[in-house]
Amino acid sequence: MNLNGTHVAMITPFDKDGKIDEEKYRELIDFLIENNVDGILAAGTTGESATITHEEQQEIIDIMVDQANGRVTTIAGAGSNATAEAQNLVEYAQNSGADAALVITPYYNKPQQSGLCDHFKLLNDNHDIPIIAYNVPSRTGVDLTVDSIVEVAKLDNVVAIKEANPDLNKLASLFNQLKKNDVEDFTVLSGNDSLTLPMIAQGAKGVISVAANVMPNEMSQMVNAALDGNLEKSRELSDYLFDLMDVLFIEASPAPTKRALKLMGMDVGGLRMPINPISQENDAILQEVLKKYELI
């Protein structure tokens, strides 16, 4: 399995009754694949994993695997703040036929670094599916340190990390320590769209992207140019996409992304509370940005 490139942290479409809209979800998957993404992620943070039930999570993973049908890499969101619960979710991801499971660091309970390492070790030892660790301290309240990432990277089935800590000095230290510890075949993916280019310059191999829900082809072009060493083209595209990357976090995600898709003619439904639709003021800002890109 090759994790290089652009992988989309997909939104989850809901119908007028607030249930999973399978038809819209399948349409979104086709839209993304037709626009040259390398992989798709179901039930991540952007997919409102915090407010969907486990049954709904399983449903959208199954839809993703079925609709992708081997055309791109499929990643199943499978994390929890309880290790036993994460075990069940990773087990389901494995049985679903997904290519990999994305496992967030346990949140809220702020475990020790040893607890974080043991969490991933237990999942590694009990499953065969490739696991992508997900470090996003701004949401979880805990940061997987460089030493812990290196320790986790030594596990056979933990093949990558989605790193959403924006500290590029930490990233430089991570690549330095991976090399010193002879850890090979471990992939680092950007968890922040706007930092994808500098992260690739340091050694990352791609991104799990929010902006790619809206402009998948352009995000893919930027990442591919960076991976090919075409700095001028990748920098131009990164600069070009910055306003979109920025505005999609003008309020709580995925509210701006879902609104953008609706404005573009893809009605993906509402949001699960406590996330609300964006304000009128920010909606006007979002529309101006989308007009700049001729998306509406």
Q: Which residues contact 94 (CB under 8 A, 6 or more apart)?
A: 101, 127, 128, 129
Is 134 one of the annotated active-site residues of the chain? yes
Q: What angle do CA 90, 43, 281 make, to 5 degrees?
A: 155
Q: Which of 134, 205, 258, 291 is catalytic?
A: 134
Q: 141 in the Ramachandran plot: left (φ > 0), alpha (ψ -120 to 50) or beta?
A: left
Distance CA(72)–CA(177), nearest Å, equals 31
φ, ψ (nearest 5 deg) of residue 157? -100, -5
Is 108 one of the annotated active-site residues of the chain? no
| Structure token digits, residue 27 | 């349409």
DSSP label of 104 = E
100 close to 1: Cβ distance less than 8 angstroms: yes
Q: Which of 25, 92, 162, 258 is catalytic?
A: 162
3-state DSSP assignment of residue 21 = coil
> Helices then strands (H, E): number in the chain?
12, 8
C-alpha 187: how far from chain center: 14
Helix 146-153 to helix 113-126 angle (10° resolution) is 10
Catalogue the active-site residues.
Answer: 134, 162
